[in-house]
Structure 1
Amino acid sequence: MDLKQIQEQCLVRIVDDDEAMRKSWNFLIEGEGWKTSCYAGAFRFLEEDDDSLPGCVILDVRMPNMSGIELQRIMGIQSNHLPIIFVSAHGDIDMAVQALKDGAFDFLPKPVSAERLLAAIEKACLISCELHESEQREKAARDNFNSLTQREKMVARKVALGLLNKQIADELDISEKTVQAHRGAVCRKLGVKSAVGVAAILRIIHEDAGDGEIAR
């Protein structure tokens, strides 16, 4: 994925109570081709931001009402996985270490160079894009799997184990012809052509195929 593709998909959030700093970063980041959204504080960010859009958060540490560190904790509780880049003039080593342990992508001291900030944004947004694409693949695979009937799901799990139609028919006490029909429906609904494809879908959605090893 090249930089242009990343920029097309991502939104860079700037959360800082200092209006001059927000405007400065916004001017810099937008000038490099990124889409941005600015928030004057943590509460405004929580109320207005759409976390379904990949990207990252440029976050100040010391803000009134709710600090950046407190916002990070709330994002964790909400399973908001946007990478956080802390930028602060008030951080110390212990604070930075703890923030990184808690999942922050980076912790940059003010004043931070434009090159270092932009490099951190690009890396964080690449990770966010990859995570977003993985989540979208999992959602699509789960939706397809959930479109199967209960019997088709049973057959799919057996197919994923690499069992032949006759073996599946014996285990489920149905005819081999019925297994063939279910197998065809499973592959069609999951958008795959083989047992390996069925197994791949079950791995994506972390679906237990039962005893034995899923076909690879």
Structure 2
Amino acid sequence: MTERPKPSRQPAGAREPLVFIVEDEESVRRALSNLFQSVGLEVEVFGSAPEMLQSKLPDVASCLVLDVRLPGLSGLDFQAELGKANIHIPIIFMTGHGDIPMTVRAMKGGAVDFLTKPFRDQDMLDAVTVAIERDRKRRDAERVVAGLRALFETLTPRERDILALVASGLMNKQVAGELGLAEITVKIYRGQIMKKMGARSLADLVRMAETLGIRRAKP
């Protein structure tokens, strides 16, 4: 498998939520497209997993409605391929031949729902609503982390060392002893760090460090 979907550079929020449909039966693709468009959702359809693998995914809240049984790469195998490519689009599986092991595998892989054909339109719409909201929250969280990471990159190496120690729960005096600095110097550094990171309080700064995974064990 050489081709994988690539995120586009389009800003998040520039488009309405998007539903991808991967289904080999044209009549089902058309029915699902009409259903989603009737509630104001944008839709992109594919007849097979390779078709989607060769496309670029716009940077908007989205989900994937995926048939389990497809020609070539199956829906479950496609789910695994997306995971390997670090693409975390929420998936709603649909099948006319579901079984418990298949359902368990899909849900363990992170699927939002597993609908057996024929399913009610409302059940599909409910599943899509949940999936898109999950994707929107994930994207919001990733934007927060990206913003914090950009602020962290403005810190000097010394400021990063001090931030790691402060986030580990050390007092100014302890940080000074660990780094061989005067306590007043540590206080000045900490003030600079809080200003650069936009932290309103020490607790706020510690939460930022934890979000970024910045932590150093106490000596």
Both structures adopt the same fold (TM-score exceeding 0.5): yes
- The question of whether the paired residues in 2 share the 8 Å contact of 1:9 and 1:129 is answered with no
State the distance in 2 between where 1:95 and 1:201 align.
40
State the distance in 1 between where 2:105 and 2:167 align.
43
Aligned-pair identity in percent equals 33
Match of 1:140 in 2: 147
Q: CA distance change for structure 1 residues 53 and 27 in 2, over 3 Å: closer, same or farther?
A: same
Indicate yes or no: 2:131 matched with 1:128. Answer: no
State the distance in 2 between where 1:161 and 1:182 align.
16
Paired residues in the alignment total 206
Match of 2:204 in 1: 197
CA drift of 1:146 comes to 2.5
More helix by share: 1
Structure 1 residues 5-51: Cα deviation after superposition (integer angstroms, max 9, x where no partner): x9x66321111122221121111101112222212210111111417
One-letter code of the match for 1:190?
M
Report the TM-score, using the length of structure 1 for normalisation. 0.85
Which secondary structure does the structure 2 equivalent of 1:209 belong to? coil
CA drift of 1:174 comes to 2.1
Q: How does 1:14-93 map to 2 (within 5 A)?
A: 14-50=21-57, 52-93=59-100
CA drift of 1:204 comes to 0.4
Report the TM-score, using the length of structure 2 for normalisation. 0.84
Which secondary structure does the structure 1 equivalent of 2:79 belong to? helix
Structure 1, unpaired ranges of 5+ = 1-5
Indicate yes or no: 2:185 matched with 1:185. Answer: no
Structure 2, unpaired ranges of 5+ = 1-12
Which secondary structure does the structure 2 equivalent of 1:207 belong to? coil
Indicate yes or no: 2:153 matched with 1:150. Answer: no
Root mean square deviation, CA, Å: 2.1
* Corresponding residue to 1:115 among 122, 127, 133: 122
Match of 2:102 in 1: 95
Structure 1 residues 87-143: Cα deviation after superposition (integer angstroms, max 9, x where no partner): 111333332222222322211011111110000111111111112212221222222
One-letter code of the match for 1:137?
V
- The question of whether the paired residues in 2 share the 8 Å contact of 1:10 and 1:125 is answered with yes
Structure 1 residues 144-188: Cα deviation after superposition (integer angstroms, max 9, x where no partner): 222211100112123324544444333322234432332222112
